[in-house]
Amino acid sequence: MGVQGLCSLIEANSQIYRDVRFRDSRLVIDGCNLCYWLYYDSDLDQNHGGEYVAFEDLIGKFVKALKDCRIEPYVVLDGGTDITAKKLDTLKKNAEQQIQRAHAAAEKGGKENILPPLAKQVFKQTLARLEVLVAQCFGEADREIAALASEWKCPVLSNDSDFYIFDLPAGLLPTPHFQWKSVGRNGPRKESFIRCKSYTTSSFCTLFNIQPQVLPVFAALAGNDYVKLQKLTSLWKRSAPAGSGSAGRLKGLLVWLKSFQRPREAMEAALRLMGNLSRQREAEVLQVLSLGTEEYQLPPSDLKQFFTDGTVPPLLPEAVGQVPDWARLPLTQGRLTEDILDVLLLKRIGLGVMVDHGSLPSAHLTSRALRQVMYGLLLGGGRRLRVEESDREDLGLSSCMVRPALRGVAQQLKLDSLDKAAHSQRLRVLLEALGVKPTRLNGLPPHLHLPVAVTCYWMREASPPPDRSLLQALMLGLVTGETQRERVGNSALLSETTHCRQKPDRDVAHAYNQWQACMKDSIHLNQLLDCPLPEPHISRLYQGLLVHQLVPKLRTGTTPELLLSSNSTGIQLYRDLQAAVLQSQETTASAAVGREENLRSL
C-alpha cells in the first residue's frame, strides 16, 4: 500500500511528532522496510553487486542497539503478492522505475537505491543467527504488523506511509528519526535508550482538524496503491491553502474533509464531485472507496500466537489446498522464499532488478533452468502449465511464460510429500539441476558445496562464457570471506581505487549478476528441498568491490597466489575451489565432445 506524498506532508509539519527516549518495550518492525532502510541509509555498495559482510555487520549492530535498550524486536516480512491483483499496476510501475534507475547506475554510477540481489537473503539469515523473532506473512504484511502492534500496545518501526493511517495505540516510530547508531544513557542507573520521534493518528487529526474515523477515507481519496481515482485528484487543489506547493493536493483534500463526521458521508460527497455518473459507475466507485478504507480496519492478529507459542497462522482462504501443510511453518519462519506462494497461488513471479546495463540481456535468463525445476516441484507437469515471469527486457518490463521442468529423479517426487523424500533423492534433484556430479565436491568444506556447484553451473551456462580472470576473482572473494571474519573492507586484497558509487565495468557486472542470479535461485531450490546441501553463510559468498577490483589486476598478470601470499590457508582453499570448478568444466567439455563424435558415427 502507500499514500503518495503523505510522508513529505508530515515531515513538512514536524510539530506533529513527539520526541521520545525509547527503551524497555516490545517493537514490531516492518522487516522489508528495515532491510531497505539499513542498506540505503549506509554508504554500502550497490553498483558492484553488494557489500554483504558489511551489511551483516550493520544488522548485528542494529540488533545490539535494541537489546542494549531492552527493546524486544519482532520482525514481520511481506509474503506473497496480493492475490486480488489490485496492486499489480503499482508493482509494475515500481519495477519499471527500478529498471531505469538500475541502468542509470550501470551507465553513470551514483547511488540509485537498487538493493543488491542477495541482500534480503543476508538479512533473513543474519536475523536467524542472532535469534531475532521473525514472521513471514502469507500476503502483504502491513495489516498484520498494525494488528499485532495494536494488540500488544507497542509501537511500529517503519517508514511506510500507510502506518500514518492505521490507528496504532502506541504510535509509529518513523525509521528516518530512529537514532539507533547513537544510544543514549540517562538516570542514576545510566539506562540506555534510543532517541526517536513518535507519531500518532490523533496528533495528525488534531493538527488538520479532521475526525479520526474519516482518516481512512482521506487515504482512499488521496489515492493509495489500491485506489486510483485520477479524476478526483485535481479537485483537491482548489481547496488547498495558498503557497502549499507540491503538498497542495493532500492539504486541499484535508481542508475539504473538515466538514464530514462519517466516512460514508465523505465518500458520497466525493461521488457528487465526479459529475454525472451512471448508477452502475457510482456503485463501482463507491465499492472501490469502501474497499480502500477497509484496508485500514484491523483484524485480530494472526501472528500473536506464532510469536508467543509457535502456532502457525491460518492460510488465506484461497491458499487452502494449494499450499501443503508441511510448508506452512518454514514459510512463516522465512526459511522458504515468499516466491513459492506467488508460484502456487498466482502462477506468476516477479524477478528482481539488478544494476545492469539496459543493452544487455537480463541476468536472470542464466538461471531460468533452475527456476523451472522449482516450478516443476511446486506445480507438477502438464503440457499447458506455465509460470509468468516478469523480468527486464532492454529498458522495459516484459513477461514470459515459462514451462515447469520435471526431469530425472524430480519426476518421482510429489509436493505434498516432498518433506518426506529421502535425502539422497533430494540431493540428486539439486545436483542434476546444477549439472554437477557429487564426486566433484569431495574434499571441500560442506558449507561450500552449494557455492561451488553453482559456480560450475555459471561457468557452463553464463553468456558470454566467463573467462578465467572472472572465475579467479570470484574464488578469491570467496576465500577472503572464509578466512577473514572482519569486514572485507580491511582486506589486504582491497585498495581504495574502487568506490561503491563508481560506474561498474559493464561486462564484469553482467557476468557477476548472472552468478548472483544463479546463487539466489539455487538457495531457493535448496531450501525447497529441505537443504540437501548445507546452506552457506551467504554474506561471505560475494564481495562486490573486491571482485570488481581484482579482475583487471588478474588480467594484467597478477597471480592469485601472489595476492594471497600472506595467507597459506587461503592459498590451499583457493586451489581446491578452482580445481573443483575447472575439473567439472573439463568433464562437461569431454562429454560434449563424446556426444558429437557419437552423432558423427551414426
- 280-328 residue pLDDT tens: 888 888 888 888 888 899 999 999 999 999 999 998 877 788 999 999 9
The DSSP element (H or E) to which 73 belongs, if any, is: strand 71-77
Residues 274 and 154 in one domain: no
pLDDT score, position 324: 94
Residues 10 and 53 in one domain: yes
pLDDT score, position 499: 65
Dist. CA 156–CA 199, nearest whole Å = 10
Dist. CA 404–CA 385, nearest whole Å = 7
Residues 464 and 505 in one domain: yes
Burial track 180-192 (b if 16+ CB lie within 10 A, e otherwise): beebeeeeeeeeb
Residue 588 has pLDDT above 90, yes or no: no
Residues 70-98 have a mean pLDDT of: 87
Mean predicted lDDT score pLDDT of the chain = 89
Residue 355 and residue 512 in contact, taking contact as beta carbons nearer than 8 Å: no
Q: How many domains in the chain?
A: 3
Q: Which long-range contacts (CB under 8 A, 24 or more apart) does 181-185 make?
A: 181/61, 181/65, 183/65, 183/68, 183/69, 184/21
Q: Which of 179, 208, 237 is the last residue in one of the domains?
A: 208
- 181-228 residue pLDDT tens: 999 888 777 899 999 999 999 999 999 999 999 999 999 888 755 555
Structural domain including 260 reads 212-294
Q: What is the pTM of this model?
A: 0.92
Residue 152 CB partners (closer than 8 Å, separation 6+): 26, 28, 304
Residue 323 belongs to a domain: no
Dist. CA 210–CA 526, nearest whole Å = 52
Residues 450 and 531 in one domain: yes
Q: Which of 227, 259, 294 is the last residue in one of the domains?
A: 294
Residue 479 has pLDDT above 90, yes or no: yes
pLDDT score, position 567: 80
Residues 218 and 364 in one domain: no
Name the more confident of 493 and 131.
131
**Band of residue 233 on the pLDDT scale cut at 50, 70, 90:** low
Residues 374 and 495 in one domain: yes
Residue 394 has pLDDT above 50, yes or no: yes
pLDDT score, position 496: 45
pLDDT score, position 1: 53
Identify the CATH number of the domain in which residue 152 sits. Answer: 3.40.50.1010
Residues 511 and 452 in one domain: yes
Dist. CA 410–CA 420, nearest whole Å = 14
Residue 571 has pLDDT above 70, yes or no: yes
Residues 449-472 have a mean pLDDT of: 97
- 241-257 residue pLDDT tens: 665 655 778 888 898 89
Give the burial class of 414: count Cβ atoms within 10 A of its Cβ; 0-12 exposed, 13-18 middle, 19 or more buried: exposed
Residues 129-156 have a mean pLDDT of: 96
Residue 231 has pLDDT above 70, yes or no: no
Q: Residue 143 has which C-alpha cell?
A: 495489516
pLDDT score, position 245: 58
Residue 185 belongs to a domain: yes
Residue 59 has pLDDT above 70, yes or no: yes
Residue 458 and residue 515 in contact, taking contact as beta carbons nearer than 8 Å: yes
Residues 452 and 552 in one domain: yes
Residues 226 and 118 in one domain: no
Residues 139 and 55 in one domain: yes
**Band of residue 45 on the pLDDT scale cut at 50, 70, 90:** very high
pLDDT score, position 276: 76
Residue 341 belongs to a domain: no
- 263-274 residue pLDDT tens: 999 988 888 887
Name the more confident of 593 and 19.
19
Residues 362 and 478 in one domain: yes
User: Among residues of the chain, what percentage have pLDDT more than 70?
Assistant: 90
pLDDT score, position 553: 95
Residue 140 and residue 88 in contact, taking contact as beta carbons nearer than 8 Å: no
Residues 120 and 146 in one domain: yes
Q: Which of 181, 208, 235 is the last residue in one of the domains?
A: 208
225 φ/ψ angles, rounded to the nearest 5 degrees: -65, -15
Q: Is 442 helix (H, G, I), strand (E, B) or coil?
A: coil
Residue 389 belongs to a domain: yes
Residue with cell 496492486: 87
Gyration radius (Cα) of the chain, Å: 26
**Band of residue 532 on the pLDDT scale cut at 50, 70, 90:** very high
Residue 558 belongs to a domain: yes
Residues 450-464 have a mean pLDDT of: 97
Residue 338 belongs to a domain: no
Dist. CA 354–CA 117, nearest whole Å = 7
Residues 488-513 have a mean pLDDT of: 73
**Band of residue 465 on the pLDDT scale cut at 50, 70, 90:** very high
**Band of residue 354 on the pLDDT scale cut at 50, 70, 90:** very high
Residues shown for the chain = 602
Residue 473 belongs to a domain: yes
